[in-house]
Amino acid sequence: MVLTFGYKRSIKYQMGIVTGFFLVMMASGFVASTITTRLPSLIPVMTVAGALYILYLAYLILRSSITMKEDIVRPLGFFQGMFLQLLNAKTLIVGLTAYSTFLVNPPKTLLWRTASASFFTALAITALALYSLFGFFLFRILQSPRVGKMINTLFAAALVYTALALLWPMVAQFA
C-alpha cells in the first residue's frame, strides 16, 4: 500500500489494521484466560498448535517469492484494514499463543487485559510503521531475487526460533 499510494494515503488503512489488531488481542486475552482457567489441560495443545502454525508460516515465507503487484486502483480504507485483522487467522493465533503461553498467570482484570492488548498494539504500530517506512526505502533492494530470498530466509529463521522457544519448556520436561 505505502509503495503504491504513499504513506499519507495509507494511514486510514493502517489505523484500521491497528484497531482490528487491538480488538483481536482483547478477544484473545478473554478466550485464553477462560481456557487456561477452566481447561488448563488445553495449554500444551494450544502451545503445540501455535508453534506448528508459526513453523507453517516460516515454511510459507521461505517458499514465497518477492513480487510487487500494483493492481490496486485506490487505497484501502479504515474498515478494510480493520476487517482484515478481524478475519486474519494469524492475528488470532498470535494472540491466543501469546496469552496462553507467555502470559499464563496474569491478573484476570479488565484493566490488565486492556493494558496488555494496548502494549501488543503499540508493538504492532511500531512494526507497521517500520514495515511501511522500510518497505518504501527497500523497494529497490527487494527487486533482486537473491536479496529477497535472503530476507525471507532470515524472517523464516526468526519464526523457527520463536516456535522452538515456545516448545522448549515442554521438551525440557521430558529430557
Would you give the distance in Å from CA 23 to the centre of its chain? 13
Chain CA centroid to CA 97, Å: 11
Q: What is the pTM of this model?
A: 0.63
Q: Are 57 and 159 within 8 A, CB to CB?
A: yes
Give residue limits of the domains in the chain. 2-174
pLDDT per 10-residue tile (average), the chain, 175 residues: 62 86 89 82 82 88 69 71 82 80 74 89 86 71 78 90 88 82
pLDDT for 164: 92
State residue 94's pLDDT score. Answer: 80
* Cβ(155)–Cβ(61) below 8 Å: yes
